[in-house]
Structure 1
Amino acid sequence: MTVTTLSSREFNQDASGAKRAASKGPVIITDRGRPAHVLLTIEDYERLTQQTASMADLLAMPGVEDIDFDPPRVGHLARPADLS
């Protein structure tokens, strides 16, 4: 993945070049030398904004009761809670 950096002026003068660059990776558009915007392909944007399932959703999936899960014990790290 190639990251391209363009100034706002460069972006305005060659938007089609910026779109071509975005097909190879994110395009960072700067404003007064500081990163201000990022141009991505729609596929990259959708991948980044895709919501992942929560732990509750995963535990509620059908067939989850058939999965064997036996995590190792970490007794040496556990301490009784001090409730005083």
Structure 2
Amino acid sequence: MTVTTLSSRELNQDLGRAKKAALQGPVFITDRGKPAHVLLSITEYKRLTGKRRNIVEALSMPGLANIEFDPPRADIQSRPADLS
């Protein structure tokens, strides 16, 4: 994978070059020397966004069912509010 960096001016002057470079890897587009945008090919974009996981899958661990977990019961008592 090749990473290319272009200024906004270079992008405006040669969009074809940026599109060709995006086929090889991400193209960072800078504004005043700082990265501001990234150009990706549609194939790479779909690869990055196509594998969505939910929070349960992201936090799950293999063999989690084999871990014993018996937390103590919380004893929470309410008290009247002091409005003075």
Give me the TM-score of the superposition, normalised by structure 1.
Answer: 0.65
The answer to whether 1:40 aligns with 2:40 is yes
Q: Which amino acid aligns with 2:16?
A: S
Aligned length: 69
How far apart are the structure 2 equivalents of 1:83 and 1:53?
32
In the superposition, relative to structure 1, how do residues 55 and 38 fare at CA in structure 2: closer, same or farther (>3 Å)?
A: closer
Calculate percent identity across the aligned residue pairs: 54
1:17 maps to which residue?
17
In the superposition, relative to structure 1, how do residues 53 and 34 fare at CA in structure 2: closer, same or farther (>3 Å)?
A: closer
Unmatched tracts of structure 2, length 5 or more: 57-62, 76-84
Q: Where do 1:4-83 residues align within 5 Å?
A: 4-50=4-50, 52=52, 54=54, 71=63, 73-75=66-68, 78-83=69-74
How far apart are the structure 1 equivalents of 2:53 and 2:45?
18
Which is greater in Rg?
2
Give 1:8 shift.
Answer: 0.4
Question: Root-mean-square deviation (CA), in Å?
Answer: 2.7
The runs of at least 4 aligned residues of structure 1 exceeding 4 Å deviation read 53-56
